[in-house]
Amino acid sequence: MTDIRKVAVIGAGVMGAGIAAHVANAGVPVVLLDILPKEGDNRNAIAEGAIERMLKADPAPFMNRAAAKLVTPGNTEDHLDLLKDCDWIVEAVIERLDIKQALYQKIDKLRKKGSVVSSNTSTIPLADLTRGLGEGFARDFLITHFFNPPRYMRLLEIVQGDKTAPAAVDAIAAFADHKLGKSVVMCKDSPGFIANRLGVFWLQAAVVEAFAAGLDVEEADAIIGRPMGIPKTGVFGLLDLVGLDLMPHVNASMAASLPKDDPFHALNKPLPLIERLIRDGYTGRKGKGGFYRLNREMGKRKEALDLVSGQYRAQRKAEVDAIADSGRSLARLLSHDSKHGRYAWQVMGPTLAYAAARAGEVTDNIADIDEAMRLGYNWKFGPFELIDQLGSQWFADRLAREGMAVPAILKLAAGRPFYRIDKGERQVMGLDGNYHTIRRPDGVLMLEDIKRRSEPLLKNGSAAVWDIGDGVVCFEFTSKMNSLDSDTMALFMKAIALVKKSYKAMVVYNEGNHFSAGANLGLAAFAANIAAWGEIENLVGGGQSTYMALRYAPFPVVSAPSGMALGGGCEILLASDAVQAHAETYTGLVEVGVGLIPGWGGCKEMLHRWATLGNLPKGPMPAVAKAFEIISVATVAKSAAEAKDYLFMRPSDGITMNRYRLLADAKAKALDLARDYKPPEPPTFNLPGPSGRVALDMAVQGFHRQGKATDYDLVVLGELAEVLSGGDTDVLTTMTEADVLELERTRFMNLVHNEGSLDRITHMLETGKPLRN
C-alpha cells in the first residue's frame, strides 16, 4: 500500500483550498496549485490568496498557524513538476469534463509511479472522467468527494471504477481515515453519490411543499428540524447557510444526470421567488440575506421572508401544536391532522421512500446511507434509522395508503426493523434480507459498543465507569451536557479507589458531542441565589480535592476529549497525566465569561505549566503574566493543536484525527504510561505577590480605559490577578499547591457572592452568550 507522504491539490477554490489545509492539518506537506490569474504580476496569486483568506476565516480551515506553513502555493503553468514526488494528487477544479480531462493528461505524464489521482467532483460520473485515458491512469484513479468545509465535515465519499486498483483505494481510504479523520463511505458510481443525492431531494421537497402549504419558514424549519434530529437550521436556515444561488446549479446538474424516471424530476420545478432573490443578491448569509436576515435599518431586527408575499417581516416564533402534541413520536407527528402534520409527511414520506429505493443503487450497505446522511447533513439519525423509529410496517402501510410505491427494501423488511441488537452486537439488514453484524474497522474502540455489551462498574446520576479491557477503565460523564457536579466528583473518588484495587489505568472519555462544558452553572447559580454558600464552597473544595486525588493517584489518568472541554472540563485535562485529544477539541478556561475564575486548580496548573514548559524568561512574573493573558480573556483554543500553543495540552500529549479512533488511542497511551508508573512530584510556586498584582491591575485598567474591559471585568480580573500573583506573598516565599488552591477557592467565593457574577451566569444559561456588564 502506498504511504501518502506528500499531497498535491489542484484547484484553489473553496473546496480545493480547504482540502489542502486539512491535509496540512494532518502534518503532511501539500502543494496547492491553481491557474494563472487574469491580471497582476503574481503568477501564484490565486493559491496564495486562498491561503491568506483561510488564515482569516472563521471557522478556521487550519488547525493552527503552523499548519499553513506546510502548504506550498503555485500555479499550473510553472509548477506542475511539483507533482512529481506527490503520492496523492487531488483534482478540485471547475466541474467541466473537458478541463478535467485535459488536466489529467498533463498530470499523467508527470506523476510518479503508483501515485493516486482523485477528483473531488460531485456531479461527473467516474466512467466519464476516465474515458479515453490510459489503463494505467484508470487503475490509479478514483473519486474522493469531500464535504464543505473539509476540515469539519467528517464524511468522505469514495467512488472507484471497474479498473481502479484495490491498493489505490486502500491507500487513500486509510489515509483519509487515520490522517484526515474522515469516515469513508464507499459509493457506487451513481449521480450525486449518496449524501447529495438524498440531501438535494430532501431540500427540494421541503421547499416546494412549504410553498404549496403556505407555511412560514419558521414553521417549516421547526418541523423539518429538531423533532427529526435534523439541525435546528432546518431547511431554509440551511439554504441560507450554503447559499441560495447554489440551489439552481445543483438541481440542474442533478436533473441532467439522473435517469428519466427518477422522482426528483417531479419536484424540480422553477421557484420564481427564489430566482428573484438570487437575482437581487439575496443569496443567503454571504449575500444581503436569504430566507432570514438581520435588518440593520430597523435596529438589528430579525426578519424572515414571507413565502407568499415575498416580503420580509419580523421573525416570529413558530407555533406548531403538532410538535407538542406528538411528544417525541415521529409517527404521531407525521400523522398529525393539521397543515403542519401534513407538511411533515409530504416532506419526510417521499424523502425516506426515496432513500429506501436507493438501496442497491447507490450502495449495497444501507448502514452507509445512514452514515452519509449523519455526517454529510448532520442528521442525528439516518433515513433507515428514521424508518425504524416509524416502524417499517407503519411506513410501508402509509406509503401504500397514500398511493405511493413501496420500495423493494421495505417489502423485503416485511415489518422487521433495519437495525437490531443481537447478543450485544448491532446488526443491519442486507439486500439479501438477512441481518449482518456491523463491524468496526480495525483499531476502532467505541464506548457505545462496550455499553451495549456490559454493565457499568460504577454509576450514579452524573457519571459511569466502564471496563474497557486490558485493565483500563473508562470514566464517562452522563449528566445533561456532560456538566460536572458533586455527583461527578463523588464517582471519581469511588473510581479512584476501584482502579487502585483492581485496575491499571483510567481514561476519562465520553461520546457526547462535547467532552464537557464545565461545572453545572445552573446548579451553582441556583445555590448562590438561595444563599447556599456552604454548598457552593463544598462544590469548589470538593472539585479541588477530587482533581488532586486524580493527579496523585498511583495509576495514570488519561483524558480523551472531543468537542468542547471548557472551564471545569478543561481543568480535568490539566489534572490528568496525559491527554489524547481528538483534533477537533476546543479547550479553554472561560470562567471569567461568567464572572468567575477557575476554581478547580486551573489557575494553579496554568502557573505551573507556564513556569516549567513555557520557555519564558527567568523570574516569577512571566508565567504569571502569561497565565493571566490567557485566562483573563477566556481564551479558547480552537483545535487540539492550538491547545498545545496555550499549554492547555502539553507538547507530549497526543492528537487523534479520527473521532472513532480516540478511545483506542487513549487506552494505548494509558497502558503505555502504566508501565513503571510513578505519580508526579508536587510542584511548588514562587509568586511575585502584591508587586505582581499591581502590574496586572495596571494592565487591566489600561484595557478599561480603552473600553476593552467592562466595569465588572475590573472586579473579576482583580480577583484573578490576586490568585495568579499569589496573594499576600513574595518571590522568596515558596507556596504549595494547597496554598494556591486556597486562594482560588476564597476568591471564587468572593465572586459568587456578587450580583455581577450571578447576572453573567444567568445570562449565559439563558442566551448562551456572555454578558458584558
Partner 1 sequence: MANYKAPLRDMRFALYELNAGDELATLPGYEDFTRDLIDPVLDEAAKICEEVLHPLNRSGDEEGCHWDNGVVRTPKGFKDAYTLFREGGWTSIACDPAYGGQGMPKAVNVLMEEMICSANLSFGMYPGLSHGAYVALHGYGSDALKAAYLPKMVDGTWSGTMCLTEPHCGTDLGLLRSKAVPNGDGSYKISGTKIFISAGEHDLTENIIHLVLAKLPDAPKGVKGISLFLVPKFLPRDDGTPGERNGVTCASIEHKMGIKASATCVLNFDEARGWLVGEPHKGMRAMFAMMNTERLSVGVQGLGLAEASYQGAVAYARERLQGRSLSGTKYPDKPADPLLVHPDIRRMLLTQRALVEGSRALSVWAATALDRSKHHPDARERERAEDFIAVITPVVKALLTDFGFDVTNLGVQVFGGHGYIREHGMEQYVRDARIAQIYEGTNGIQALDLVGRKMPAHAGRYLRQLFHPISAYIEKTIDKDGMTEFVEPLAKVFGRLQQATAQVARTGMARPDEAGAAATDYLRLMGFTVLAYLWARMAEVSLPRLEKDDPDGFYKAKVMTARFFMERLLPQATAHFQAVMAGGKTMMAFEDAAF
The residues that touch partner 1, with contacts defined as CB under 8 A, are 319, 321, 521-522, 525-533, 535, 755, 758, 761-762, 765-766
Helix (H) or strand (E) holding 419: strand 419-422
Nearer to partner 1, 256 or 530 (CB): 530
Q: How far is the CB of 89 from partner 1 (least distance, A)?
A: 55
Name the residue nearer to partner 1 (CB basis): 502 or 529: 529
Nearest distance from C-beta of residue 284 to partner 1, angstroms: 31
State the minimum distance, in angstroms, from the CB of residue 323 to partner 1: 14
Task: Write down the least CB distance from residue 576 to partner 1, Å.
Answer: 30
**Other CB atoms closer than 10 Å to residue 32's CB: what's the count?**
32
| Least spacing, CB of residue 746 vs partner 1, in Å | 17
> Residue 335 or residue 754: which is nearer to partner 1 going by CB?
754
Q: Residue 224 Cβ, how far from partner 1 at the closest point, in Å?
A: 22
Q: Which residue lies nearer to partner 1 by CB, 478 or 762?
A: 762
Between 47 and 463, whose beta carbon lies closer to partner 1? 463
**In the complex, what is the shortest distance from the CB of residue 765 to partner 1, in angstroms, rounded to a whole number?**
5
Buried/exposed 572-601: b ≥16 CB within 10 Å, e otherwise = bbbbbbbbbbbbbbbbbbbbbbbbbbbbbb
CA 522 to chain centre: 25
d(CA 31, CA 21): 10
Cβ(719)–Cβ(751) under 8 Å? yes
- Cα 649 from Cα 641, distance rounded (Å): 9
**540 Cβ neighbours under 8 A, 6+ residues apart:** 599, 600, 744, 745, 748, 749
Choose between 532 and 714: whose C-beta lies nearer to partner 1: 532
CB 763, min distance to partner 1, A: 9
Q: How far is CA 771 from the centre of its chain?
A: 25
Q: Minimal distance in Å, beta carbon 291 to partner 1?
A: 24
Residue whose grid cell is 504549595: 736
**3-state SS string for 374-392:** HHHHCCCCCHHHHHHHHCH
DSSP letter for each residue of 700-763: HHHHHHTTSS-HHHHHHHHHHHHHHTTSS--TTSPBPHHHHHHHHHHHHHHHHTSHHHHHHHHH
CA-to-CA dists, residue 114 to 28, 460, 715, angstroms: 18, 55, 64
CA R_g for the chain: 28
Under DSSP, is residue 477 helix (H, G, I), strand (E, B) or coil?
A: strand
> In this structure, are residues 688 and 624 in contact, taking their beta carbons and an 8 Å threshold?
yes
Residue 152 or residue 533: which is nearer to partner 1 going by CB?
533
Q: Which is nearer to partner 1, 431 or 523 (CB)?
A: 523
Q: Helix, strand or coil for residue 427?
A: strand
In 3D space, the residue among 666, 664, 637 whose CA is nearest the CA of residue 654 turns out to be 666
In the bound state with partner 1, the residue whose beta carbon lies nearer, of 321 and 364, is 321
Nearer of residues 155 and 525 to partner 1, judged by Cβ: 525
Residue among 514, 512, 502 at smallest CA distance from 467: 502
Min dist. Cβ of residue 300 to partner 1 (A): 21
Q: 233 or 754, CB closer to partner 1?
A: 754
CA–CA distance, 247 with 261 (Å, rounded to integer)? 21
746 vs 762, beta carbon nearer partner 1? 762
What is the nearest approach in angstroms of partner 1 to the Cβ of residue 711? Answer: 13
Q: How far is residue 547's CA from residue 545's CA, in Å, rounded to a whole number?
A: 5
Identify any residues that bridge with 428 across adjacent strands, giving them in sequence order.
Answer: 419, 436
Grid cell locating 172: 487513500
| Shortest distance, position 522 Cβ to partner 1, whole Å | 5
Residue where the block lists cell 416580503: 311
